[in-house]
Amino acid sequence: MRISGAEALVRSLQNEGVEVVFGYPGGVALPMFDALFDVVSPRTILVRHEQAAVHAADGYARVTGRPAAVIVTSGPGATNTVTGIANAFMDSIPMVVFTAQVATHVIGTDAFQESDMTGITIPITKHNYLVKNAEDLPDAIKEAFHIATTGRPGPVLIDLPVDVSKAEIDYVYPETLNLPGYKPTYKGHTKQVKQAASLISKARKPLLYAGGGVLASSAWKELKELAELMQLPVVTTLMGKGVFPEDHYLFAGMPGMHGAKYANYAITETDLLIAVGVRFDDRVTGKLSSFASKAKVIHVDIDPAEIGKNKAVDVPIVGDAKNVLAAMVAELRKMTAQPHTDAWMRVIDDWRSRYPLHYHAPEGVLMPEYVVERIRELTKDRPTVITTEVGQNQMWSCQYTRIREPRTWVSSGGLGTMGFGFPAAIGAQLGRPDYLVIDIAGDGSIQMNIQELATAKINHIPVKIIILNNGVLGMVHQWQELFYGERYASSVLDQEVPDFVKLAEAYSCLGLRVTDPAELDAALLRAFDFDGPVIVDCRVPTSENVYPMVAPGGSIDEMLGGIPGGPVSEMLDDEFLEEVWE
């Protein structure tokens, strides 16, 4: 049967099991939207800005592990997706973005709403296609989903000229792929795995350092097995939050610029860093030369380019985290390796008890950390997804939530995209309809995609936006206070503008305001139980900063703020620790 390119696209999405399309139409995208019109699955969600469509697909993929599709028009519709695609690329999130394109015969003539999308997105996609013949479309889509979801996942873009979506073809969805240059390595090298197991069995102060790659490969069970078998303390990155239960006795926090002191101390003191699905990002490592400088390093990653990129590695293992961790566990079992980290865990326990994350709350003042803590406590018994915006709100969320289930934490890691959290929450809610989905936001970030209140309202997507409203661009303000002599250039907003309660009401959503900590629980519970989108405008002090903090470029064991500890080398002179080491 002959069908149009656009119909072939919809059939292909169905063949790939795509459940939801986030999109926004326009002139040359009309054939695609027309083909979607009578279709039950995938469901099409009309957003209010193309950037939000991509973030929604991103949030959906993070909570389900499956890709969604984005369909937008050419020109401005397509260029509006760029930030979203870059965000997904940095965080290795699978998705396929279809941008409509002007007709093939006018490509290159600066036609109305023409932009070179394959050119623009080469550096921010895993791969992209300009499909000039409708016959090539099914193959391109099959390849796109395969590439997006395998190996190190990432966004793939297909640029589709309008005449191609109108042209008729004999539709057959291909069963095989022709990708001679694409062969991700899944199985770790046996000799390397053995060497890693041997190092783990001997290390006195080993530390697991797990990141987003563990999520991408669904390897959390294997990670926990390894940690428990050898009693290894675990730190997780911002991207890896949730891959290891944060209430587990082996959990040693998030390291990095705003990480827990004990996490950073553990990295500084470890003699064997077992890095799994991480990329030694500068926000984690701080000054590279002093990062884990006493340790041998095992690095497991499916992307060979990440190994040795920032940090020299002793045992590189290219492979899928799930396979490699399972192989390590099997090897350690075969060796009947015994855990011997008692002394090391006592040190970490001591750090945990002496340098917990903490904040000072003056009587009657609603503190941002307190808001996050109460969200944590009030959602303890309900399945919850937390998304965040970017900045102070994100760091407080990292510090004061306790994520216990993988794929329930959604935050923009690599790109640090303000405006990500709310549309991502919309996608997350569609991926997990039975979960309570909460976007912890700042008053700056939320205004970057606030228009999506309409999308949430009209499509009955009951996400809860909790704004930590301090009237400033908090993280910028904090850096200006610390490093720019308190000159607050362009970082001051206004707590009263906009009136977020009225704004919510304008979109027929519920708006609540909290100024007194005593009123917080009631407001949060009302929001969580409300059947629809809610904004809770929490008025918090402008002066509150995120601590502890590693100064940019500093060593991670030298942190500002928090409970004074000082460099770990000095602390280890403590009698208690001396005793433990003996």
Please give the structure tokens belonging to residue 514.
């909290």
Q: Which stretch binds another protein (CB under 8 A): 180-188, 215-223, 228-236, 383-391?
A: 180-188
Q: What whole-number distance in Å separates Cα of residue 72 and Cα of residue 38?
A: 18
Helix/strand/coil for 72: strand
Nearer to another protein, 185 or 201 (CB): 185
Q: Which of 305, 335, 492, 497 is in the footprint of another protein by CB under 8 A?
A: 305
Q: Which of 282, 303, 349, 499 is in the footprint of another protein by CB under 8 A?
A: 303
Q: Is 179 in the site for another protein (CB under 8 A)?
A: yes
Nearer to another protein, 106 or 572 (CB): 106
CB of 66 to another protein, least distance (A): 21
CB of 173 to another protein, least distance (A): 20
Nearer to another protein, 183 or 487 (CB): 183
Q: Is 358 in the site for another protein (CB under 8 A)?
A: no
CB of 448 to another protein, least distance (A): 27
Q: Is 309 in the site for another protein (CB under 8 A)?
A: yes
Nearer to another protein, 307 or 329 (CB): 307
Q: Which residues pair with 319 in a beta bridge?
A: none
CB of 183 to another protein, least distance (A): 10
Q: Is 118 in the site for another protein (CB under 8 A)?
A: yes
Q: Which residues pair with 490 in a beta bridge?
A: none
Query: Among 356, 414, 418, 358, which Cα is nearest to 387's?
Result: 418
State which of positions 418-477 bind another protein (CB under 8 A): none
Contacts with 247 (C-beta within 8 Å, 6 or more apart), sequence order: 402, 404
Q: Is 86 in the site for another protein (CB under 8 A)?
A: no
Q: Which of 308, 356, 433, 552 is in the footprint of another protein by CB under 8 A?
A: 308
Q: What whole-number distance in Å separates Cα of residue 226 and Cα of residue 202?
A: 15
Secondary structure letter of residue 372 according to DSSP: H
For residue 152, the Cα-to-chain-centroid distance in whole angstroms is: 14
Q: Which stretch binds another protein (CB under 8 A): 66-74, 217-225, 297-305, 533-541?
A: 297-305
Question: Do residues 59 and 427 lie in contact, with contact meaning Cβ atoms separated by under 8 Å?
Answer: yes
DSSP string, 120-185: HHGGGSSEEEE--SGGGHHHHHHHHHHHHHSSS--EEEEEEEHHHHHSEEE----SS---TT----
- Per-residue burial over 77-94, b if 16 or more Cβ lie within 10 Å, else e, is bbbbbbbbbbbbbbbbbb
The length of the chain is: 582
Nearer to another protein, 177 or 560 (CB): 177
Q: Is 216 in the site for another protein (CB under 8 A)?
A: no
Number of H helices, E strands in the chain: 24, 21
Tell me the site size for another protein, rule CB under 8 A: 17
Please give the structure tokens belonging to residue 73.
């028009």
Q: Quick one: CA dihedral 338, 344, 348, 350, positive or negative?
A: positive
Q: Is 122 in the site for another protein (CB under 8 A)?
A: yes
Nearer to another protein, 146 or 513 (CB): 146
CB of 501 to another protein, least distance (A): 46
Contacts with 353 (C-beta within 8 Å, 6 or more apart), sequence order: none
State which of positions 124-143 bind another protein (CB under 8 A): 126-127, 130
Nearer to another protein, 414 or 423 (CB): 414
Q: Which of 34, 150, 166, 182 is in the footprint of another protein by CB under 8 A?
A: 182
CB of 257 to another protein, least distance (A): 24
Binding residues for another protein, per CB under 8 A? 118-119, 122-123, 126-127, 130, 147, 179-182, 303-305, 308-309
